[in-house]
Amino acid sequence: MNKIHTIPLPSLRRLPRYLNILEKMLDAGKTTVSATDIAEMLDLKPIQIRKDMAFTGIVGKPKIGYSTDTLVRTIKEFLGWNQQTKAVLIGAGSLGTALTGFEGFSRRGLNIVGIFDNNERKTGSPVYGRPIRPMNEFAELVQFHEVKLGIIAVPQENAQQVADTMVEAGICGIWNFSPAEIHVPDHVVVKREDLAEGLAVLFVQMQEHALSRE
């Protein structure tokens, strides 16, 4: 468990935002961009952009700024978005369906190769042209495609069991869209995506904001 020199988590989270606007600038023909430009569009400080860029190994030119094209390519590569990563999704409810249809994923290197649900009434009927498969086909598909990433879109009650199934099949990264606290072996990475967190932050910030303006 040797802690390598890694990018700080807050910096990592900002990279997709940089990439998003940089791609637009590239399309608009802007070949070069300064930290000040980026900071302005994202309501951040230029120094923070420079620091973040340094973590990815990007170097700019004094007086000129950064090459937009280099930034886009380097950030994509840094995030692993320059290649397709296979994933399987369990849970074909409304959230699972929405995730399946999310076009942003393939553009960011996520390729959902299998959608599963334990509800027999759902299996067979396709979402976005892809079949919903029964769980008994899960392990085989994961192993055949050598899938490393699993997406959990089932109710909280079933999340741990689904996670166990994923781990057993060889998955080592889990994107958990349920609020459940799932427990996995050390070699597995879990990323929580709990809507309730965002709601809490929004409510409290609105409350604070209202108070500070009285």
Partner DNA sequence: TAGATTGTTAATCGATTAACAATC
User: Of 36 and 82, which has the nearer Cβ to DNA?
Assistant: 36
Residue 47 touches which of its own copies, DNA, none (Cβ within 5-8 Å per kind): DNA
Smallest distance, DNA to C-beta of residue 61, A: 5
The DSSP code sequence of 163-176 is: HHHHHHHT--EEEE
The Cα-based distances of 201 to 117, 162, 204, 214 in angstroms read: 32, 28, 5, 20
DSSP 30: -
The DSSP code sequence of 179-203 is: S------TT-EEEE--HHHHHHHHH
- Per CB under 7 A, the list member of 53, 75, 99, 127 interacting with DNA is 53
Binding site for its own copies (CB under 8 A): 1-4, 6-7, 9, 12-13, 15-17, 20-21, 41-43, 78-81, 85, 93-95, 97-98, 101-102, 104-105, 108-110, 148-149, 156, 172-173, 175, 179, 181, 183, 187, 189, 191, 193-213
Under the binding rule (CB under 7 A), the answer on residue 65 touching DNA is: yes
Smallest distance, its own copies to C-beta of residue 91, A: 11
Segment near DNA (CB under 7 A), from 61-69, 117-125, 170-178, 190-198?
A: 61-69
CA distance 151 to 91: 9
- Per CB under 7 A, the list member of 47, 199, 200, 206 interacting with DNA is 47
The DSSP code sequence of 60-79 is: -BTTTBEEHHHHHHHHHHHH
Smallest distance, DNA to C-beta of residue 59, A: 3
Amino acid found at 63 = K
Segment near DNA (CB under 7 A), from 28-36, 116-124, 155-163, 206-214?
A: 28-36
Joined tokens for residue 177: 């869209």
Q: What are phi and psi of 124, to 5 degrees?
A: 100, -60
The DSSP code sequence of 65-119 is: BEEHHHHHHHHHHHHTTTS-EEEEEE--SHHHHHHHT-THHHHTTEEEEEEE-S-
Smallest distance, DNA to C-beta of residue 16, A: 15
Smallest distance, DNA to C-beta of residue 205, A: 13
Q: Which residues contribute to the site for DNA (CB under 7 A)?
A: 8-11, 34-36, 44-48, 50-51, 53-54, 58-66
